[in-house]
């Protein structure tokens, strides 16, 4: 339980530091969009999407090493519920 609270606090703090573009990208990931669809939706190249995602989740390590899309859902929840 304590670990979940720490993760939630960490995610909340992290969300506040994302740029509007990063928040939009995380939102789309949380909604289940694949990288190619995110690129299409945001009018970006696929490489740009990948290059934008990488530093977002690198900062969240080690809690999301295995599943960055699950982390996107967590971030989305924190952003919209708090």
Is residue 62 scored above 70 in pLDDT? no
What distance in Å separates the CA atoms of residue 39 and residue 7, rounded to the nearest whole number?
Answer: 28
Q: How distant is the alpha carbon of residue 1 from its chain centre?
A: 22
Length of the chain: 82
Put simply, whether the predicted model's pTM sits higher than 0.85 gets the answer: no
Q: Residues 59-69: what's their mean pLDDT?
A: 59
Residue 82: pLDDT band (50, 70, 90) is very low
- 4 compared with 37, residue with greater pLDDT: 37
pLDDT at position 8: 66
What's the distance, CA 35 to chain centroid?
Answer: 12
Residue listed under structure tokens 């694949």 = 34
CA dihedral (26, 28, 53, 41) positive or negative: negative
């Amino acid at each position: 339980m304590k670990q979940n609270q720490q993760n939630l606090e960490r995610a909340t703090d992290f969300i506040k530091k994302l740029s509007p573009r990063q928040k939009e990208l995380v939102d789309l990931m949380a909604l289940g969009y694949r990288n190619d669809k995110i690129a299409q939706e945001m009018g970006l190249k696929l490489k740009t999407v990948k290059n934008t995602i990488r530093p977002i989740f690198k900062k969240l390590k080690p809690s999301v090493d295995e599943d960055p899309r699950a982390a996107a859902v967590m971030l989305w929840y924190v952003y919209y519920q708090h």
